[in-house]
């Protein structure tokens, strides 16, 4: 199958690709269709990470990569900020959370470095046609509940062994969601173990793409839509019944309603990552924190998902609210979510985080513990110094 776009970051791309491309004596199949984003090792914190970033920049220059976003934010957020993802595209991503882009009606899947090198060289790949299951969410969330709670709930209810499946989301709840919230749904299909996630395009999809410099026609609303008989299974959920969810260490599937974790002490609150630090996410946290202060002996770290997110949050007043509450701001990038840069945990420390994974040792010491939650719930814990129900703060 021919690929429309190939994306990699500073960890998965150039330093893995160059040796193989040189050995084969080939270049990129179409540099204009290759996207490189530096987001894992930014900004450099030691000589090794500086060398990786230099290698990335040299590769972009030598291979004339068409689109390079250097220290502009996390790849999964940066691509839609530039209107690069459109309905019907087949996109190969050199990162497991590439399904994030399914919010825009494209089929986007994560590939390992060897497969990505072949894709970068040929513009083609092999795919088995996956099974598709449809999950419909209808009605309105209770205040203080978000898309992150949906995904933590699903990690428990349908499990994390969904290989060979695509998860399609629909229903009135999804139709009313912002594109940022839809991205959260698709992003965490990686935690479900699915090949990818997808949402059929609607007017919100097209408006977002056009507002960010992409060109897309209205025909996408009809052409890029699943047939009614395309699903191997279909399940419906009532959004009003969903409570805020929290996942305990060391798996997103260890989730339950927030009340089951009430009173668990935390040392750190991390509002970051592609799934938890877009402007919508920061605004959720700011609603909780407005007029309040971070508890003593708790550190609140905020790493906006992109430079554009930071600009938006500065204009909307969200950054000021977070700062007044006592947040410490970190650079945009994958950072502590991927165990890099600032914000790592020491032995025995406990963090509640808006990230998508809480595997043992992922955010620091192997004997630290990470709870996953929405920005609402994470911010409430920052104020209380322990896990609490965010609805009590709204």
Checking if the pLDDT of 228 tops 90, the result is no
Q: Are 250 and 359 within 8 A, CB to CB?
A: yes
Q: Mean pLDDT across the chain, nearest whole number?
A: 97
Q: Please report the beta strands in the chain, taking only residues with DSSP state E, as ranges in sequence order.
A: 5-9, 34-38, 67-70, 90-93, 107-110, 131-138, 165-170, 196-199, 233-238, 245-247, 255-257, 268-271, 299-302, 328-329, 350-353, 369-372
Cis peptide before 38 (omega within 30 of 0): no
- Encode pLDDT of 88-139 as tens digits: 999 999 999 999 999 999 999 999 999 999 999 999 999 998 999 999 999 9
Which pair of tokens denotes residue 388? 């609490």
Alpha-carbon span 102 to 58, nearest angstrom: 31
In this prediction, residues 281-297 reach a mean pLDDT of 98
Beta bridge partners of 371: 352
25-54, pLDDT tens digit by residue? 999 999 999 999 999 999 999 999 999 999
Q: Produce one character per residue of 256-288: b if its CB has 16 or more CB atoms within 10 Å, e if not.
A: ebbeebeebebbbbbbbbbbbbbbbbbbbbbbb
Q: What is the pLDDT of residue 38?
A: 98
Provide the edge-to-edge strand list for the sheet that holds 67-70.
67-70, 34-38, 5-9, 90-93, 107-110
Do residues 385 and 265 lie in contact, with contact meaning Cβ atoms separated by under 8 Å? yes
Q: Are 354 and 362 in contact (CB under 8 A)?
A: no
Mean pLDDT (whole number) for 245-259:
98
Q: Using omega within 30 degrees of 0 as the cis cutoff, is the peptide bond preceding 315 cis? A: no
Percentages helix, strand, coil for the chain (3-state, rounded to 5) are: 35, 20, 45
Q: Which domains does the chain have, with CATH numbers?
A: 5-122 (3.30.499.10), 131-241 (3.30.499.10), 245-393 (3.30.499.10)
pLDDT score, position 278:
98
CB-CB contact of 268 with 345 (8 Å): yes
pLDDT of residue 190: 98
CB atoms within 10 A of CB 128: 7
Q: Which of 339, 279, 328 is nearest to 40 (CA)?
A: 339
Token readout for 257 is: 């309603």
Quote the CA–CA distance of 51 and 49 in Å, as a whole number. Answer: 5
Nearest residue to 348 (alpha-carbon basis) of 377, 368, 370: 368
pTM score over 0.95: yes
Model confidence pLDDT, tens digit, residues 138-154: 999 999 999 999 999 99
What pLDDT shows up at residue 185?
A: 98
Count of all residues that appear for the chain in the document: 394
Looking at residue 193, what is its pLDDT? 97
* Mean pLDDT (whole number) for 160-179: 97
């Amino acid at each position: 199958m021919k690929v429309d776009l190939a994306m990699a970051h500073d960890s998965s791309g150039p330093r893995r690709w160059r040796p193989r491309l040189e050995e084969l004596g080939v270049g990129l199949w179409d540099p204009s269709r290759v996207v490189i984003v530096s987001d894992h090792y930014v900004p450099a914190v030691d000589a090794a990470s500086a060398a990786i970033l230099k290698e990335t920049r040299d590769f972009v220059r030598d291979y004339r990569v068409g689109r390079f976003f250097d220290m502009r934010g996390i790849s999964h957020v940066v691509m839609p900020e530039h209107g690069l993802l459109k309905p019907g595209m087949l996109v190969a991503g050199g990162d497991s959370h590439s399904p994030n882009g399914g919010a825009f009606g494209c089929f986007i899947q994560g590939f390992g470095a060897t497969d990505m090198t072949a894709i970068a060289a040929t513009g083609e790949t092999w795919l088995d046609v996956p099974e598709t299951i449809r999950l419909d969410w209808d009605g309105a969330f209770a205040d203080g509940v978000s898309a992150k709670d949906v995904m933590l709930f699903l990690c428990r209810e349908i499990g994390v062994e969904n290989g060979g499946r695509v998860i399609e989301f629909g229903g009135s709840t999804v139709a009313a969601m912002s594109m940022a919230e839809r991205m959260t749904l698709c992003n965490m299909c990686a935690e479900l173990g699915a090949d990818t996630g997808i949402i059929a395009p609607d007017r919100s999809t097209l408006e977002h793409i056009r507002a960010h410099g992409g060109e897309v026609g209205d025909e996408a609303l009809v052409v890029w839509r699943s047939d009614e008989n395309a699903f191997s299974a279909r399940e419906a959920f009532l959004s009003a019944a969903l409570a805020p969810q929290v996942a305990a260490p060391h798996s997103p599937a260890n989730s339950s309603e927030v009340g089951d974790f009430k009173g668990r002490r935390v040392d750190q609150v991390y509002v970051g990552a592609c799934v938890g630090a877009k402007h919508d996410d920061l605004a959720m946290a700011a609603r909780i924190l407005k007029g309040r202060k971070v508890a003593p002996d708790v550190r609140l770290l905020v790493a906006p998902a992109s430079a554009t997110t930071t600009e938006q949050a500065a204009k909307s007043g969200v950054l000021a609210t977070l700062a007044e509450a006592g947040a410490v701001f970190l650079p945009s990038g994958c950072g502590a979510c991927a165990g890099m840069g600032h914000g790592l945990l020491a032995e025995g420390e406990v963090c509640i985080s808006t990230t998508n994974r809480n595997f043992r040792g992922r955010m620091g010491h192997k004997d630290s513990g990470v709870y996953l939650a929405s920005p609402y719930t994470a911010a409430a814990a920052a104020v209380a110094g322990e896990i609490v129900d965010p609805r009590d703060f709204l």
